[in-house]
Amino acid sequence: MKSTGIVRKVDELGRIVLPIELRRTLDIAEKDALEIYVDGSTIVLKKFRPSCVFCDSSRDLVTYKDKNICPRCLRDLKNS
């Protein structure tokens, strides 16, 4: 992991501000969803990218009953 040297305080509501430089570098816009992971005592934020529930592909997804499915897996399901 690479240190940015940036330090931010958590406010009374548990929020932190991600500096504009980081948001621009990582292509994070207002209202983008971020996934939160915990690795030991480390918190990791990752830009959320919807993906297929079966193969993790993120291309041309179709949503069925609130689940994302790619065309290949959908075709496989129809043929099984």
* pLDDT 10s digits, 52-79: 999 999 899 999 888 899 999 999 998 9
Is the domain covering 1-48 a CATH 2.10.260.10 domain? yes
- CB atoms closer than 10 angstroms to residue 70: 20
pLDDT tens per residue, range 44-56: 999 988 899 999 9
Mean pLDDT of 13-27: 94
0.75 exceeded by pTM = no
Residue 53 · residue 37 · CB < 8 Å = no
Domain ranges of the chain: 1-48, 50-80
Residue 44 · residue 57 · CB < 8 Å = no
Q: Is the dihedral of CA 37, 35, 63, 59 positive or negative?
A: negative
